[in-house]
Structure formats: structure tokens, C-alpha cells
């Protein structure tokens, strides 16, 4: 069996966060969090005004509230919160690559209202014993929501820091009971041209559905999560509502949005960007400052938001700074070849 | 069409203001924080499209003159050509400052390594050559060769479109529009077609005469 379940101790970044920093993190608690959770988090509840108070309320499905009340906040946080400051909600939701809603960075925020996220179901199929079509709430039900504050490094050499809410991808895969033939996980985004104007463009080079894939051990890694929310609320449509992948050590395009299908497969899937430009985008797409994109350097990144006077250029780290956790997955591999 | 001189002067001033206006608008968007979390890239990309606009407008002047015989179009040719150059210089400036953070050693290595940047720099070099020879003194000095030299504007258009094509990642719609307009302007220069343009003028004019 290829499945490797890492120990919780692997989440080293949160381990090295000093307790003072951890406790001083300003947290949103307002109304949403129930009494029980409130007591458990009293230390942080008493902290100053919340990070998320300015975040506009969404329109979550009924089942989302109870999941949020029981969420495990700050499950993984940056080792250096001063360097990796949270990107403002406004920027994280108005600067998106989501080509189903247009190729401009502000197109998704403008066009994604038309996406219908409730109800939402996901097909889990392929090399599994427990497959089928599942309502999203049933997929999420057995897992506790966790907050993961991750760096997000786009292949276009910009980056953000986003507080996601999600569940471990490994939990979902395990519950599907993969067979011994399951070597890869393939993901697909919704195809609905009436809701997704970008899918109507006859000039689009993407062959819908947008497709992504992970190797089984990557998918089972505890850092890989299926996201349902961000900034203490459910995902806004333009950020991949209601259900998306987040793989923080890979370039952003791997973290596929608005997932409707998860297939366990034997052969390595061809992801959408690899299909368009195999010389520019690979299957692995691990963040790697030593391997340039053919058209630009990946050695540095622009941490957003930036300004005209400060482009905020910082060094890109191997595996986006998650090398301690994930480097072992790629031991002995030529990362120049498997870019 | 005879026009008083002040009308033509006013026309040239209006063109100047119209060409400057987009830069003002984009700067204003940046100033009021409406340009998104990466204002440098916003300027870079918008000014990049501005170059193509200016170039295509410049290239439309000859067919327009043939079609209308209005002197005003010829009068703004140099101005629009120089605007194209100005936008291109600003585009490179944005790239060097906002994307590379003024790391000039990186600018050197990027120019050598990235084909789309080489192509962009070649197009800029062509615009510079035309820009510095756009004065009366150069025209006199170069004589007949001036016209030949300024034919590199067609090369610049090709290089510019190629540069843009390489930047496009997944949707060719916008690029196709620019390329189509560029192709149309080239077609209108093919001698047998170019010769037809003045005849169109006759066609447009005739009904007016009938009314008179």
C-alpha cells in the first residue's frame, strides 16, 4: 500500500510558533462561535478586536454554522507571522485566477455571483470501494474544520498568506477506501457554461473541465486540505466555493477550485496547464526557486499587496517554505525534470 | 478640405490630451487604491496594451488619409508615433521597477534568457530608431532612405504582437482582436487595395453632391 499517514507531529510550523504569538493572534469570535468553543478558546477570545471583523458575512449553507462553531482555529500558522502577515480579505477575494469566470484578475470577483453552490454534490469514483455521489455536507460531516494559515505562491511569481478553513484531504480519501490500484488522485472543476462565462469563450485554451492531480502520497500528506472557508467564513465564489483543494507547497494552479469530482486512478493524470503548455507547467509544480518558468524567474516573488514604492519582492523558498514537511516525498527525484 | 490653421492646432492639442488621458486615468486608479493589490503590474499591463493602441492608431492614419484626404490625420502621425515610443518606454520602466524591483543585474539576465522579453526589447529598439529620426533634420539628412527606415514600423507591429502572444496564458480573445486590426491595416496597404481607398471616398461623397 502506498498510503502513508503522517503523524500529527509533522506539522512543525505550528509547533515552533511561540506561545505568546499564538495567544496574541487576533481572532474573530463574534456571535458565530458557540459557548463551548468559546470557552476552549477563551485565551484568544479575549484578545483585541478580531482580524475578521471587517470580513463581510457570506451566505453559508445551514450545516456550515455548526462546523464553524467546532472549528480548530490556528491549526497550522506561519512560523514567522511578522513575515507572513495575512493578506487583507479584500485583496484575497479580488485578485484571483479562476479562468471559468474570465482571465482578468478581477473578473472572478465580478462574475462569480452566478455560481450556484447550494446544494453541491461531489462524485468520488475510480479505484475505491466506497464511491458514489455524495452531498458536500456528508463528505465534510465526519471531519472537524481546521484553520490553516498558508502561504499561497502563484506560478506567476506573486504570493499571499491566506487563513483557510478546511478538512484534511487524506481523511476524505481514506473514507472512500482506495483499492491497491489507486496511485493518483484526479480532481475536476464544475462545468456549467451558464454559470461560468469563461467556459463560453471560444478563444479559451483550457479544455474544460479544469483538471488537477496529485500522487497518492502527496494527497495523503497532512498539509494537503480540502478547503471550505477562509477568513472565518465560507469560501467566496471567486475563491473556489464551495469546495476546493489547497496544496501549499505547490504553485497555486494545483489548488483546483469548485470541485465536483475526485477520482482515484492508476495512471498519472494530465492536469489542465500541463495539457496547454507541457514545457511550462508540469504535473508536480512544486514551488522551487531553482527551477525557472521558461518566461520568468521563480527565485523571488512579489508578496501582495504591494505598492508602487515597495514592490515587496522576497526570496521564494523551496517547497514554499514547507520543505521540512514535504521534501521527503520527493527524495531521489530530479526536480528539474519533474517540475 | 480647407481648414483654418487654428482648427488644426486645436486638433493636435486634443490628440495630445487624448493620448495622455489613459496614463492619467490609470495613475488616478492607483492613487485611489482601485488598481488592486499589485498596482505596478496593473500599470505594466495597461500601458502594454496602450502601446498597441497607439501603434495601431498610428498605422491607421495612412489609410484614413487616403479615404478622407483630410490633412489632420497626417498632421498627428509623428505625435502618435512618439506616443507609441513613450508608452513603450514607460512599459519597460514599469517592468524594471515594479516587477524586477530595479535589480538591474536581473534585467540583464532576463533580457538574455526570455524570448518574449528579447522580442519586446527589439520592438522597443525599432521604436527608438524611428523616434530619434522623427525630426525634420533627420528627414532631410536621410532623404529617400528615411521612408525605407520607417518601414520598420511593420516589423515593430509583428514583434509587439508576438511579445503579447507569448504573455497570453489561456485566452486568445483579446490578442486576436489586436492581431485582426493589425492585419486589416496591413491589408489596406497592399497596393491594389490601397489604390481602391480614394475611390471609396468618391462613393461616400457622391450622395452629398446629389443633395446639393
Q: How many CB atoms lie within 10 A of CB B109?
A: 13
Residues of B in contact with A203 (CB under 8 A): 171-173, 176
The parent domain of residue A83 ranges over 8-330
Count H helices and E strands in chain B, helices first: 11, 0
Choose the closest CB to B38 out of A88, A95, A201.
A95
ipTM score for this prediction: 0.85
A48-87 residues touching B, CB cutoff 8 A = 87
Give a yes or no: residue B75 inside a domain: yes
Here the CATH number for the domain that contains residue A104 is 3.90.420.10
Looking at the predicted structure, is the pLDDT value of residue B79 above 90?
A: yes
The rounded distance, in Å, linking the Cα atoms of A318 and A298 is 10
**Is residue B2 predicted with pLDDT exceeding 80?**
no
Q: What are the cell numbers at B20?
A: 495622455
Whether A337 is covered by a domain: the verdict is no
Beta bridge partners of A151: A161
Asked if B170's CB is within 8 angstroms of A296's CB, the reply is no
Nearest to A304 among B38, B43, B169 (CB): B38
Query: Residue A2 has what DSSP assignment?
Result: -
Its domain, for residue B101, covers 5-204
The residue among A240, A276, A231, A277 whose CA lies nearest residue A259 is: A240
**What is the total residue count of chain A?**
339
Q: Is residue A164 part of a domain?
A: yes
In this prediction, residue A39 carries a pLDDT of: 39
Do the bridges between strand A132-135 and strand A121-126 make them parallel or antiparallel, or are there none, so unpaired?
Answer: antiparallel
The span from the CA of A108 to the CA of B68, in Å, is 44
Q: Which pLDDT tens digit goes with each residue over B26-75? A: 999 999 999 999 999 999 999 999 999 999 999 999 999 999 999 999 99
- Look at residue B183 and tell me if it is in a domain: yes
Contact A287, A152 (CB under 8 A): no
Q: Contact A3/A220 with Cβ under 8 angstroms? A: yes
From chain B, the residues in CB contact with A160 under 8 A are: 37
Q: Identify the pLDDT of residue A29.
A: 38
Q: Which residues contact B28 (CB under 8 A, 6 or more apart)?
A: none
Structural contact between residues A75 and A147, judged by C-beta atoms closer than 8 angstroms: yes
Bridge partners of A128, per DSSP, are: A178
Probe site for chain A from B38, B99, B101 (most A CB atoms < 10 A): B38
Per-residue pLDDT band for B113 (boundaries 50, 70, 90) equals confident
Q: Is residue B210 part of a domain?
A: no
Sequential pLDDT tens for chain A (339 residues): 455 555 544 555 545 444 444 444 444 433 333 333 433 443 343 333 356 988 998 999 999 999 999 999 999 999 999 999 999 999 999 999 999 999 999 999 999 999 999 999 999 999 999 999 999 999 999 999 999 999 999 999 999 999 999 999 999 999 999 999 999 999 999 999 999 999 998 888 899 999 999 999 999 999 999 999 999 999 999 999 999 999 999 999 999 999 999 999 999 999 999 999 999 999 999 999 999 999 999 999 999 999 999 999 999 999 999 999 999 999 999 999 999
Q: ∠ at Cα A159 (A284, A323), nearest 5°?
A: 50
In a domain, A296, yes or no: yes
Report the domain count for chain A.
1
Helices (H), A51-106: 64-69, 89-92
Total domain count, chain B:
1
> Taking CB atoms and an 8 Å limit, are B38 and A276 in contact across chains?
no
- Whether A224 is covered by a domain: the verdict is yes
Instruction: Quickly tell me which residue has 503590474 as its cell.
Output: B41
Domain assignment present for A162? yes
**pTM, to two decimals:** 0.86
Tens of pLDDT along B179-190? 999 999 999 999
Look over chain B and give the mean of its residue pLDDT values, rounded to a whole number: 92
Residue A155 falls inside a structural domain:
yes
B176 chain-A contacts, CB cut-off 8 A: 203
A295 touches chain B (CB under 8 A): yes
Confidence of residue B1 (pLDDT cuts 50, 70, 90): low
In chain A, what residues touch B93 (CB-CB under 8 Å)?
none
Report yes or no: A144 and A72 within 8 Å, Cβ to Cβ.
yes
CA distance readout (Å), B10 to A3, B13, B18, B72, B140: 75, 5, 12, 10, 27
Q: What is residue A24's predicted lDDT score, i.e. its pLDDT?
A: 42
Q: Is A293 on the interface with B (CB under 8 A)?
A: no
According to DSSP, residue A235 is labeled P
Nearest CA in chain A to B114: A295
Amino acid at each position: 500500500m502506498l498510503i502513508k499517514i503522517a503523524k500529527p507531529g509533522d506539522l512543525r510550523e505550528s509547533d515552533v510558533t511561540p506561545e505568546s504569538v499564538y495567544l496574541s493572534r487576533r481572532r474573530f469570535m463574534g456571535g458565530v462561535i458557540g459557548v463551548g468553543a468559546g470557552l476552549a478558546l477563551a485565551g484568544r477570545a479575549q484578545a483585541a478586536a478580531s482580524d475578521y471583523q471587517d470580513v463581510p458575512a457570506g451566505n453559508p449553507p445551514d450545516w456550515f454554522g455548526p462546523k464553524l462553531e467546532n472549528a480548530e482555529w490556528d491549526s497550522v500558522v506561519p512560523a514567522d507571522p511578522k513575515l507572513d502577515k495575512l493578506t487583507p480579505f479584500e485583496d484575497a477575494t479580488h485578485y484571483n485566477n479562476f479562468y471559468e469566470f474570465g482571465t482578468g484578475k478581477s473578473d472572478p470577483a465580478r462574475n462569480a455571483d452566478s455560481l450556484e453552490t447550494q446544494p453541491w454534490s461531489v462524485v468520488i469514483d475510480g479505484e475505491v470501494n466506497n464511491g458514489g455521489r455524495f452531498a458536500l455536507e456528508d463528505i465534510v460531516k465526519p471531519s472537524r474544520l481546521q484553520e490553516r494559515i498558508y502561504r499561497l505562491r502563484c506560478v506567476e511569481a506573486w504570493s499571499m498568506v491566506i487563513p483557510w478553513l478546511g478538512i484534511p484531504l487524506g481523511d476524505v480519501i481514506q473514507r472512500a477506501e482506495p483499492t491497491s490500484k489507486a496511485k493518483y488522485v484526479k480532481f475536476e472543476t464544475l462545468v456549467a457554461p451558464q454559470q461560468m462565462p469563461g467556459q463560453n469563450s471560444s478563444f479559451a485554451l483550457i479544455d474544460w473541465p479544469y483538471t488537477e492531480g496529485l500522487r497518492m502520497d502527496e494527497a495523503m500528506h497532512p498539509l494537503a486540505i480540502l478547503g471550505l472557508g477562509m477568513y472565518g467564513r465560507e469560501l467566496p465564489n471567486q475563491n473556489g466555493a464551495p469546495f476546493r483543494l489547497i496544496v501549499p507547497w505547490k504553485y497555486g494552479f494545483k489548488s483546483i477550485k469548485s470541485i465536483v469530482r475526485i477520482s482515484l486512478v492508476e495512471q498519472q493524470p494530465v492536469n489542465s496547464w500541463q495539457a496547454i503548455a507541457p514545457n511550462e507547467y508540469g504535473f508536480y509544480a512544486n514551488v522551487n526557486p531553482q527551477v525557472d518558468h521558461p518566461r520568468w524567474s521563480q527565485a523571488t516573488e512579489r508578496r501582495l499587496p504591494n505598492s508602487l514604492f515597495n514592490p515587496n519582492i522576497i526570496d521564494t523558498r523551496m517547497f514554499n517554505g514547507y520543505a521540512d514537511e514535504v521534501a521527503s516525498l520527493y527524495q531521489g527525484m530530479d526536480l528539474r525534470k519533474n517540475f | 478640405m480647407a481648414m483654418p490653421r487654428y482648427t488644426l492646432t486645436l486638433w493636435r492639442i486634443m490628440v495630445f490630451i487624448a493620448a495622455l488621458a489613459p496614463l492619467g486615468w490609470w495613475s488616478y486608479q492607483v492613487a485611489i487604491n482601485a488598481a488592486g493589490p499589485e498596482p505596478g503590474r496593473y500599470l505594466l499591463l495597461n500601458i502594454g496594451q496602450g502601446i498597441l493602441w497607439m501603434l495601431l492608431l498610428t498605422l491607421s492614419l495612412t489609410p484614413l488619409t487616403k479615404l478622407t484626404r483630410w490633412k489632420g490625420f497626417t498632421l498627428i502621425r509623428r505625435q502618435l508615433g512618439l506616443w507609441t515610443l513613450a508608452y513603450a518606454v514607460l512599459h519597460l520602466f514599469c517592468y524594471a521597477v515594479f516587477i524586477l524591483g530595479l535589480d538591474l543585474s536581473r534585467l540583464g539576465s532576463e533580457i538574455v534568457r526570455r524570448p518574449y522579453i528579447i522580442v519586446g526589447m527589439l520592438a522597443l529598439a525599432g521604436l527608438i530608431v524611428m523616434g530619434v529620426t522623427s525630426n525634420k533634420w533627420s528627414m532631410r539628412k536621410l532623404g529617400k532612405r528615411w521612408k525605407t527606415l520607417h518601414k520598420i514600423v511593420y516589423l515593430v507591429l509583428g514583434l509587439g504582437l508576438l511579445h503579447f502572444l507569448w504573455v497570453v496564458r489561456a485566452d486568445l480573445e483579446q490578442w486576436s482582436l489586436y492581431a485582426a486590426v493589425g492585419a486589416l491595416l496591413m491589408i489596406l496597404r497592399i497596393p491594389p487595395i490601397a489604390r481602391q481607398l480614394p475611390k471609396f471616398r468618391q462613393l461616400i461623397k457622391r450622395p452629398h453632391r446629389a443633395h446639393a
